[in-house]
Amino acid sequence: MKTDSIRSLLFSRESALAALVFLSTLALFSPAVGYDFVGLDDEPYVSRNPMTRDGFSAESLKWACTADVVGHWAPLLWMSYMLDGTLYGPGPAGFHFTNILLHAVNAALVFLLLRRWTGAKGAALWGALFWAWHPLRVESVAWITERKDVLSGLFFLLCAGSYVRGVRDRRGWGWRTGLPAFFLGAGLLVKPVLVTVPFVLLLLDAWPLRRLGGGGRVLAARVAEKWPFWLLAAGLGAVSWQVNAAAGIPHADMPPLADRLLAVPGNYLVYLRQAVWPGILAALYPRPVFSPAATGVALAVLGGIGAAAWASRRTRPGAAVGGLWFAGMLVPSIGLVWMGTTEGAGDRFTYLPAIGLSLLAVSWLDGHLRGRGLWAAAGAATLLAAAIGTARQLPVWKNSGTLYARVLEVSPFHLQANLNYGIWLQEEGRTEEAQEHYRHAAAHSAKGPETLGAAGYGWVLEGRAREAKSLLEPALADPRAPALVHGAYGMACLHLGDVSSAVRHLERALERDPADAEFRLELIRAHFEAGEAEEARRQAALLKGWPDGEIRDAADLFPFYVQRWRNGEKKYAWGYFERRVDAAPDSVPLLNNLAWLAATDGASPPEALAAAVEYAERAVRLTEGKSAAAMDTLAAAQAARGDFAGAAETARKAAERAAEEGDGALRENIRSRIRGYEEGRRPPP
């Protein structure tokens, strides 16, 4: 009997239609498997994040439970990326494939839920396909970062489906509440937008379960029985909120509450319009501007839709529930609170709310489609239109260039799009075109120069001084340019050896912000390297709170650059260290300290590791092989480059020399390091 029921399930018409939905959705979105990572959060999420990109490890699993990326805490999301990295490697194809697979599974689940809740067949098939194939789904599927939507969507659909099934079948608490609560918890560990799920479950109580009849007492009972869902939504939602708050994201450049409230009706209307007529879609849209007329129209339209849904609550309860589903699930993303790039419209925000619109349409259409060829033809036409729209929208996500080019079609002066498109052009070697977009970014936004300055400063500290100069040049002549623009440009020049330009722009930075100690220290270094020692010392006298004694020459800045190194600004700091070695090539303490610093830091840049061996070998030669410390450092540098056999041999000689010097403590330390080299481990700092 059990085998027969399994066979009937697998080969039923319902299962065949679900498979059709799955396979057709998979095929429609399959071109995205060949797309690249894009420069919109894909770097910190995956492409430049070894914790997720390189697969599972004990370290990465520990990281997943505690880390936030761009203000998001999402342990299960990070683990899903790690699974891709383990299965497919670090390239983008596997990450794209998983997104598409999850969306196809979700499409099949949407069909099954619509079919079982409404009893419709043809309408449910249309509703699931229209939702799955709609161009608004492209952003959630083709953008690797938005794994958040498709993975949290899977858990949401499992939660809703198991809840309705458990109540209908009168199963025990574990099946009716425990299992759905588990799915909700898992979904919240992917994306906190699922905080609205308890409200959706109350809607499902109204229909299809019809458990809300009986007045306020029954409603209160239904609310109370969902206490595990409320606790999960409140607890995990609060954690996510705190992580975002710690990153400064919810309050970054957020308009006053009154302005956000006034914009909400218009935002709802935009989403409704896009659902019916998508038009030109983009990853980023201009910030919505409040208009009394537009708000009035939006309120009138939304009020009419709401009145129609309320009027049909008895004859078409599924339609009313679908409309409330759409409105309720959009609340976290409608513009009341900004999380990251939430500034109103965003295609990805419709992923789960739009299922409510499909439910509304299926509930209304059920009963009209049977034997109606016209309705069937109209349904086929809308599905074809949706598929064509998606096929055209998908290539927008091919790479960063296509992505930001589309944004600029919609918003020619969009600050972030001009900046990021310029970055992509520069990486492609198209520097003049890149600078044109940097000019747009600086000229057409009140915060343009400040944004360019922050980006250029970050590039300089990463050692990308040439790219930073190209980025910052268009903003230099802007009278609004803050100290950061000139200071970062001066640092870039200093890193490249153009000390006269460095002095000029660092001085301009200090004219704008005389209290900036960081730029003054860089100016002091620039004066020393320009041979202007007296001016450097005069600038040093203007410093307040310098903790490391008097600055008499460039070598006295060593502690400042060691701190830069420890802060992760390694490539920039290493430029200073190399200049110190050029100035004092026979200083054994300098050579030994730098070689040890680079060799024992697991995040040393390649150029520093290569120099570590050279510097250590030079220190050994200068001491004629008589310094145990120098030989110990050489062994560490060899191990850092992967030559563990050579490191062990050098370390044995260093231990012997330490014994001859009578330094027992050093000898024991070297012996412990030898054991590490023999096991293939580099020494700790």
Q: What pLDDT was estimated at residue 378?
A: 86
Single out the residue of 336, 269, 335, 276 nearest to residue 304, CA to CA: 269
pLDDT of residue 1: 43
Q: How far apart are CA 134 and CA 350, in angstroms?
A: 11
**What sign has the CA pseudo-torsion 425, 428, 433, 434?**
positive
**Average pLDDT of the residues in 158-177:** 92
Give the end-to-end CA distance of the chain in Å, rounded to a whole number: 66
Structure tokens at 534: 């007296």
- Residue ranges, comma separated, of all CATH 1.25.40.10 domains in the chain are 446-559, 586-678
In DSSP terms, 69 is beta-bridged to: 72
What's the farthest any 2 CA atoms get from each other in the chain?
Answer: 100
Locate 52 and state its tokens: 């997720």
The pLDDT assigned to 657 comes to 92
Mean pLDDT, residues 365-383: 76
Q: Which long-range contacts (CB under 8 A, 24 or more apart) does 288-294 make?
A: 288/263, 288/335, 288/343, 288/344, 288/345, 290/259, 290/262, 290/263, 290/266, 291/266, 294/266, 294/269
pTM of the model: 0.84
The pLDDT, as a whole number, for residue 299 is: 83
**What percentage of the chain reaches a pLDDT higher than 70?**
93
The answer, yes or no, to whether residue 2 has pLDDT greater than 70, is no
What is the three-state SS of 85-149?
Answer: HHHHCCCHHHHHHHHHHHHHHHHHHHHHHHHHHHCCCHHHHHHHHHHHHCHHHHHHHHCHHHHHH
Q: Which CATH number fits domain 446-559: 3.30.565.10, 1.10.10.60, 1.25.40.10, 1.10.10.10?
A: 1.25.40.10
Distance from C-alpha of 37 to C-alpha of 471, rounded to nearest angstrom? 22
Quick one: pLDDT at residue 253? 58
At 245, is the pLDDT very low, low, confident or very high (cuts 50, 70, 90)? low
Q: What is the CATH code for 586-678?
A: 1.25.40.10
pLDDT band at 340 (very low <50, low <70, confident <90, very high): very low
As a dihedral over the C-alpha atoms of residue 455, residue 456, residue 457, residue 462, rounded to 10 degrees, the angle is 90
User: What pLDDT is recorded for position 243?
Assistant: 78
136: closest CA among 332, 274, 323? 274
- Please state the rounded mean pLDDT for residues 239-247: 74
Q: Residues with Cβ < 8 Å from 102, sequence gap 6 or more?
A: 147, 150, 151, 153, 154
pLDDT attached to residue 652: 94
pLDDT tens-place string over residues 552-569 = 999 999 999 999 999 999
Rounded CA-CA distance 350/409 in Å is 22
* pLDDT score for 190: 96
DSSP calls for 27-52: HHHGGGGGPPP-TTTHIIIIIT-HHH
Residue 539: its pLDDT value, please? 94
**pLDDT tens for each residue of 435-478:** 899 888 888 777 788 888 998 999 999 999 999 999 999 889 88
CA dihedral 13, 19, 20, 22 (to 10 degrees): 150
pLDDT tens profile 110-124: 999 999 999 988 899
The CA-atom distances, in angstroms, between 173 and each of 178, 205, 229, 232 are 6, 16, 13, 17
CA distances from residue 596 to 31, 565, 572, 629, 674 in whole angstroms, order as listed: 49, 13, 18, 10, 16
pLDDT digits (tens, 9 = 90+) for 224-240: 999 999 999 999 888 88
Share of the chain above pLDDT 90, in %: 65
Could you say which DSSP state residue 294 is in? H
Instruction: Work out the average pLDDT over 49-62.
Output: 91
